[in-house]
């Protein structure tokens, strides 16, 4: 027997969601984002599923890249944060890793390195996120340095990142697109060339909500895992299928009287005679400790609200209005029928954080 808490990872849902990405932008190439253990879904598992379908992968650092390369993934892998030391450049060259250049120091390291073969480079420009990236004139200078280096392959990709693409009514994304096009135009004028520069600006939210951002390369991440990145309601969200279903089982049921409390600090008190079920999952398994009473779970397809504080290993839910509930019944915490975004909203966090913080204690099980 084993503790019943587990995350079911659907191979068919991941493939379906990638096909949705292609429907939004059929003429773009796709860099699938599998950083942070593929948003908790398992980077090796997801990368192997998508390896025959995508053009390349994106990770945050060289350790993540090596993990999936050593697992047999043969597509190019982009280091989204670039390199953190000069010695990583040789490793990147030997393993067909692409490098995002975000500052002049990274460019200097690359140009000065002695490496086995040239590297594909993406150049990040700062159009308003103000986190990483080069400003206009600085970007033109660094692009020229890289373009003239024998260590860099032809076809440098110009990239940026949006700060607010998830807000469909927010005009900042339009401004960032305009700024990006200005950098692109300035660069073309500087090069005195008619050659087209490949570009990448669209993350999941932009792919879904900002058609002007769907350029040569897109970078789908959150939507690959079946969750909408948009803050407002969207019909597009219905196209996606959750790739992870977090589930556990009821391990105890008890009846309590009106006025009795449940869990730590008595934050939930019964307003009627109630039936309370204890479920084998807690914040030690990745369920958010900040989840408030009333956060939905699903039992027999019916909502059973959280009752009381989340413990390290258990939660308690109100199943008073659900018939035929017994010990051993499956409880869905998020996934099919219950969006992780809804759980996140009740927990003052985001679906991104809940998924990415899934701990090693919670096993993932691949299903078709």
3-state DSSP assignment of residue 354: helix
Q: For residue 292, what pLDDT band results from cuts at 50, 70 and 90?
A: very high
Give the mean pLDDT of the chain. 96
Topology, domain 11-227: TIM Barrel (3.20.20)
3-state DSSP assignment of residue 344: helix
pLDDT in tens, 171-209: 899 999 999 999 999 998 888 766 789 999 999 999 999
Q: Which residues of 41-66 are buried (b: 16+ CB within 10 A; e: fewer)?
A: bbbbbbbbbbbeebebbbbbebebbe
Q: What mean pLDDT comes out for the span 343-352? A: 98
Position 56 pLDDT exceeds 80: yes
Residues forming the active site: 35, 264
pTM tops 0.75: yes
Q: What mean pLDDT comes out for the span 75-80? A: 98
- Residue 90 CB contacts under 8 Å (≥ 6 apart), including other chains: 113, 114, 115, 116
What would be the CATH architecture of the domain defined by 244-367? Beta Barrel (2.40)
pLDDT of residue 1: 55
3-state DSSP assignment of residue 114: coil
- Domain positions in the chain: 11-227, 244-367
pLDDT of residue 169: 80
Burial of 222 (0-12, 13-18, 19+ CB in 10 A): buried
Longest CA pairwise span in the chain (Å): 80
């Amino acid at each position: 027997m084993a503790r019943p808490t587990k995350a079911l990872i659907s191979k068919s849902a991941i493939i379906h969601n990638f096909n949705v990405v292609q429907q939004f932008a059929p003429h773009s190439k796709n860099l699938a984002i599998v950083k942070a253990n593929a948003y908790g879904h398992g980077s090796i598992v997801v990368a192997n599923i998508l390896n025959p379908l995508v053009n390349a992968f994106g990770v945050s650092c060289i350790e993540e890249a090596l993990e999936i390369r050593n697992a047999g993934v043969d597509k190019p892998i982009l280091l989204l944060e670039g390199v953190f030391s000069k010695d990583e450049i040789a490793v990147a060259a030997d393993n067909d890793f692409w490098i995002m250049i975000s500052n002049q120091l990274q460019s200097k390291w690359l140009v000065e390195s002695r490496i086995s073969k040239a590297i594909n480079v993406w150049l990040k420009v700062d159009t308003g996120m103000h986190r990483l990236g080069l400003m206009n004139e600085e970007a033109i200078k660094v692009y020229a340095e890289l373009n003239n280096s024998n260590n860099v392959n032809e076809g440098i990709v110009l990239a940026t990142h949006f700060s607010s693409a998830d807000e469909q009514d927010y005009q900042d994304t339009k401004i960032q697109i305009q700024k990006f096009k200005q950098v692109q135009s300035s660069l073309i004028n500087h090069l005195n060339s008619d050659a087209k520069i490949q570009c990448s600006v669209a993350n999941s939210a932009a792919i879904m909500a900002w058609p002007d951002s769907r350029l040569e390369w897109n970078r789908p991440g959150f939507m690959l895992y079946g969750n909408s990145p948009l803050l407002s309601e969207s019909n597009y969200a219905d196209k996606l299928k959750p790739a992870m279903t977090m589930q556990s089982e009821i391990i105890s049921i008890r009846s309590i009287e009106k006025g009795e409390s449940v869990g730590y600090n008595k934050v939930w008190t019964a307003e009627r005679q109630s039936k309370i079920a204890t479920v084998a999952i807690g914040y030690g398994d990745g369920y958010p400790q900040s989840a408030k009473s009333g956060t939905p779970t699903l039992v027999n397809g019916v909502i059973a609200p959280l009752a009381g504080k989340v413990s390290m290993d258990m939660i308690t839910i109100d199943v008073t209005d659900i018939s035929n509930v017994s010990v051993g019944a499956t409880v869905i915490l998020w996934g099919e029928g219950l969006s992780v975004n809804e759980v996140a909203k009740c927990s003052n966090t985001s679906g991104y954080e809940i998924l990415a913080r899934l701990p090693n204690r919670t096993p993932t099980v691949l299903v078709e």
